[in-house]
Amino acid sequence: MPSNVEIKAVLRDINYLTQRAKDLSASEGTVIRQQDTFFKVPTGRLKLRDFQDGTGQLIFYERPDTEGPKLSNYSITPTSDPKGLVKVLTDALGLVGQVKKERTLFIVGQTRVHVDSVEGLGVFMELEVVMKENQSREEGVSIANQLMLELGVKEADLIDGAYMDLLLKDQKNGYRL
């Protein structure tokens, strides 16, 4: 199963981080609009990512809900009918909720740097160090930590869990970043 080392952080200065990501990736980034629909499953997380253009991906992943770099194992399959698949999976498994975001993607080495504007939550940064076949978790964590430094991400801004978790907390507790 493919894996990555991932971190998420609240963005305090979107302009600074975006400019640093542009510099490090030598690109303007790619803007992607996504709607992630999460389904009830006994372990891990299952989501259907709708790219809002008639295409999508069904993604299953397992990852601890802790702050800082964490290893995530995942599997992905494409779909050309995301809306139909959402209906079937909702009927079969039940719906947890949806996350709508606009993501700017930058590639820095083997790392996907995301600048995410999440509807109802705010602006975040996510790093996904895409692990090579024989690479250790420790190597991935080291790459993530170094990139955090280069992007000016502070440990105090790290968050745990998924955007869906934050939205659910917000609904239950009035949680705000």
Domain 3-173: top CATH class: mainly beta
Closest CA to 106 of 15, 27, 2, 7: 27
Sorting pLDDT into bands at 50, 70 and 90, what band is 176?
very low
How far apart, in whole angstroms, are the C-alpha atoms of residue 105 and residue 114? Answer: 5
Q: Enumerate the domain spans of the chain.
A: 3-173
- Can you give the pTM of this predicted structure? 0.89
Question: pLDDT by residue (tens digit) across 41-71?
Answer: 999 999 999 999 999 999 999 988 777 788 8
Sorting pLDDT into bands at 50, 70 and 90, what band is 172?
low
How far apart, in whole angstroms, are the C-alpha atoms of residue 167 and residue 73? Answer: 23
Helix (H, G, I), strand (E, B) or coil at 52: coil
